[in-house]
Structure 1
Amino acid sequence: MKTLTVLFIDDDIFMLKALNRVASRLKPHWQFYLCSDPLHWQQALPDGAIVDTVICDYLMPDINGDELLKQVSQIMPSALRVLLTGDTAEDVVSKVTEIAHFVLKKPFTQQDINDVFCSLEHLNTLDIEQPLRNKLGRIGYFFALPDIARQIQSMFANEEVDISHAADIIHQESVIAAKLIQIANSAFLGYSRKTVSLEEAIKRLGLKMTETIVVSMVVDQALALRVPEKAHKKINEWSFNYSRLCRQLSKSMGFSIEQQDVVFIAALLSGIGHLVLMSETNEHVDFDSDDTHTMLADATVLTVYILTLWGYPLDLCELILMQDKPDFNATGLNVNTLGLILYVVNLSLTNQLDEPSKNELLNLVVDVDIRQWISNS
């Protein structure tokens, strides 16, 4: 495994030393560079060096940190961009989150730095070629997790969760609240009695599934104006159908409720990459044709890239990647079989299971239940 490298930039030499002490204690085998001259930050690095992360102060005499990170994004786009700031005004945070992957409040804590380093380690384990890392790292392919989703994430991370408080937060977004209640009443969850209570809907769905639906929908809302209406609608329909069918198949195969939820979450979050990619490219699908194959190149990797930066677990990200590279020999109630479920359901939803393709796939897949599902689809 390669040695990861970090560049700290701050005109305050004492702050640089403090950052270096914390970083060296957390990751003694990493390489750290210090720069107290923001205008000439590249000179702090060996010739031709490309670091994995740049962490810099926001307010500096000659150049602000957001402007410096713009330079970083152009020169070494694959590097994580982290901003340290004591100014947490909403307009400032909103501005800098368009450029920085992470915004840390000063004074920083060791946990703040460790969270960034953990995300960097996770990104480094992903099987992503350098040209694609450069592409994904450029400004525009990343945006910060919207506030309501971050609030719910933070609340659900606690051991004791106040469901009524969570419901109050979600009620601020009536469309999201309505969608949660709709899904909680859907047949595939198995409840015969309908509910109009958001609190009960959250309890039925569980914290993980509720959080995932909230995240999926706030991302959808954030990108709605940047994606053609037909494409936007098609991706939404695909995401929810994908998650529903994956959960149904996993349930029929005998997976536990927790495992059913995991594959539901992986499928639903997969829509994020498609929305972001469509919002940043001109690769829009012609929905006037009969082709419903809306999957664009690199969308799965883009989903995982964004989720990793948002702090999602590495094992979930690895499961999402399996929808493109499954283990055809997978059998039994394990994560590899869940990955194969994602793969075959995706093929079905994108109209890639004609008879010749079915026969070819049946020659590859070992699991009896999945083979039966393919034959019947």
Structure 2
Amino acid sequence: MKILFVDDEQMILDGIERNLFDSDWEVEVACGGEEALEMLADEDFDVIVSDMLMPKINGVELLSEASKIQPHLVKIVLSGHADQDMSMQAGFVAHQWLDKPCDEKVLMETLSHIEEGLANQPNHSIKKAVSNANVLPTPPVTFTKIKKILSNDGENLDGVADLISQDTPLTAKVLQLTNSSFFSRGKTIYDVREAIVRLGVELVNSIVLLTETYANLPNNKDINFIEEQEKCLLISSLVVHMVSPEQREAAILTALLHQIGKLLLLQVFPEKAEQYSGILKANSYSELKELEEEVFDTNHGKVGAYLLFLWGFPDEIVEGVAKHQDKEHLINSDFGISAAVFLSHMLIERKKIDDDFVEELKITESLSKWEKIANQILSDA
């Protein structure tokens, strides 16, 4: 793995080189944004780690330009000084934020984790597209409603939380920023209302506006993304009945986000949108993984998980999204979040689940109970 570190203080760069001297990574440094852009134009890198407050070209400007030069880059901020506005902007051009000074162990673990994630996603075109997709498409109607609530009653946290929770991409972005090290000073937040409390209404309002600026909803008449998001909400309502109390928060978030890769597949392969919409309409969800891999050489679970991994989501959620379609993995693992999300999706779509699969998972007795709950959720919707 080849890493470019950027800072305007040579002493800091010298320290990084010393600390990583014995690593297996190829480490290069650039003193300032101008030198970094010159290096990016001449050499390929896997990861860029940049300071925020630098003269001439700041970290936000550098990472924005770096994305244009090398879209596959994993972009990390390593900074100890930045105002709230710049930090929020960094969340739209960087995948993760690390505080400076950063403990050497934390830095090594973060980079090792990224190396592992890069190795698990061998498709270069997917890496390129996903790494550059810092913000996912969000229906404009959501922005309109949220802005109306914020303008009429800035303290209506429940109303804002309800709307954001109905919008999968915006949920992902708000939670990503909430759990970044700049804003996070405690436990990992899975609940949108808690995230709003932590961030504050003004910051959430800015996130909504910035997301609207970056959003680029694919123009596809055959796929209704609002319906897809509503389905994820129903699935999240069912999945809590299948997992242990300790897993419920993570299971809800995994259910909300498990379809996120579909949006990315359409962003990466717009020319295949019509073919993909035909596959989605004509086939059961249980067959979708194999059909996607025939068309895209990957599947929406793997692509969505890669994005969430880059954004620094907890491993249990990344794995839940990555594995929820992988039936071989599900039958060879203890019943958990991935299996619960897959089954919830099948039940909400009222699709038949193979008897052999049910027997392998040892859920014959539970399935009839879950079917009744799913039917009640659908009737109440």
- Please report the TM-score for the alignment, with normalisation by the length of structure 2: 0.59
Q: Which residue of 2 aligns with 1:239?
A: 232
**Pairing 1:211–2:190 present:** yes
1:91 alignment partner AA: D
Residue 19 of structure 1: which of 1, 4, 16 is its match?
16
**Pairing 1:174–2:167 present:** no
Residue 71 of structure 2: which of 71, 77, 81 is its match?
77
Q: Give, in whole Å, the separation in 2 of the partners of 1:43 and 1:235.
A: 43
Q: Which residue of 2 aligns with 1:135?
A: 129
| 1:371, distance to aligned residue in structure 2 (A) | 9.1
Moved more, 131-140 or 262-271: 262-271
Per chain length, whose mean CA-contact separation is higher, i.e. which structure has more relative contact order (CA < 8 Å, sep 6+)?
2
Once the two structures are superposed, what CA deviation does each residue of 1:245-269 show, in whole Å capped at 9, x if it has no partner? 2232x25xxxx43245543442233
- Please report the TM-score for the alignment, with normalisation by the length of structure 1: 0.60
Once the two structures are superposed, what CA deviation does each residue of 1:196-245 show, in whole Å capped at 9, x if it has no partner? xxxxxxxxxxx87x7245489979967688769x9464244222211222
Q: Give, in whole Å, the separation in 2 of the partners of 1:35 and 1:54.
A: 10
| 1:139, distance to aligned residue in structure 2 (A) | 4.8
Residue 29 of structure 2: which of 18, 31, 34 is its match?
34
Residue 93 of structure 1: which of 87, 91, 100 is its match?
87
Q: Give, in whole Å, the separation in 2 of the partners of 1:120 and 1:126.
A: 10
Once the two structures are superposed, what CA deviation does each residue of 1:6-62 show, in whole Å capped at 9, x if it has no partner? 1112343222102223444xx7332211233743547658x9853221123345455
| 1:111, distance to aligned residue in structure 2 (A) | 6.3
Q: Give, in whole Å, the separation in 2 of the partners of 1:265 and 1:133.
A: 23
| 1:86, distance to aligned residue in structure 2 (A) | 5.7
Q: Which residue of 1 aligns with 2:339?
A: 340
In structure 2, the CA distance between the partners of 1:95 and 1:316, relative to structure 1 (3 Å rule), is closer
Q: Give, in whole Å, the separation in 1 of the partners of 2:365 and 2:124.
A: 36
Q: Which residue of 2 aligns with 1:320?
A: 321
**Pairing 1:55–2:49 present:** yes
Larger helix percent: 2
Q: Which residue of 2 aligns with 1:162?
A: none
Q: Which residue of 2 aligns with 1:66?
A: 60
In structure 2, the CA distance between the partners of 1:244 and 1:327, relative to structure 1 (3 Å rule), is farther
| 1:132, distance to aligned residue in structure 2 (A) | 0.5
Q: Which residue of 1 aligns with 2:375?
A: none
Number of positions where the alignment pairs a residue of Structure 1 with one of Structure 2: 305
Report matched runs for 1:201-280 at 5 Å: 211-214=190-193, 231=224, 233-248=226-241, 250=242, 256-259=244-247, 262-270=250-258, 273=261
In structure 2, the CA distance between the partners of 1:376 and 1:304, relative to structure 1 (3 Å rule), is closer
Structure 1: segments with no counterpart, 5+ residues: 144-170, 181-206
In structure 2, the CA distance between the partners of 1:340 and 1:103, relative to structure 1 (3 Å rule), is closer
In structure 2, the CA distance between the partners of 1:78 and 1:329, relative to structure 1 (3 Å rule), is closer
Point out the structure with max Rg over C-alpha: 1
Once the two structures are superposed, what CA deviation does each residue of 1:316-347 show, in whole Å capped at 9, x if it has no partner? 3122211121227727xx54564333223323
Root mean square deviation of aligned Cα: 5.0
- Check the 8 A contact 2:302/2:323 in 1, yes or no: no
Q: Which residue of 1 aligns with 2:145?
A: none
Q: Which residue of 2 aligns with 1:308?
A: 309
Give the match's secondary structure for 2:190: helix
In structure 2, the CA distance between the partners of 1:56 and 1:231, relative to structure 1 (3 Å rule), is same
Structure 2: segments with no counterpart, 5+ residues: 138-154, 165-186, 197-203, 372-381
Q: Give, in whole Å, the separation in 1 of the partners of 2:99 and 2:366.
A: 53
Give the match's secondary structure for 1:211: coil
1:324 alignment partner AA: Q
| 1:122, distance to aligned residue in structure 2 (A) | 4.9
Identical aligned residues as a percent: 18
Q: Give, in whole Å, the separation in 2 of the partners of 1:108 and 1:172.
A: 37
| 1:88, distance to aligned residue in structure 2 (A) | 1.8
Q: Give, in whole Å, the separation in 2 of the partners of 1:301 and 1:314.
A: 13
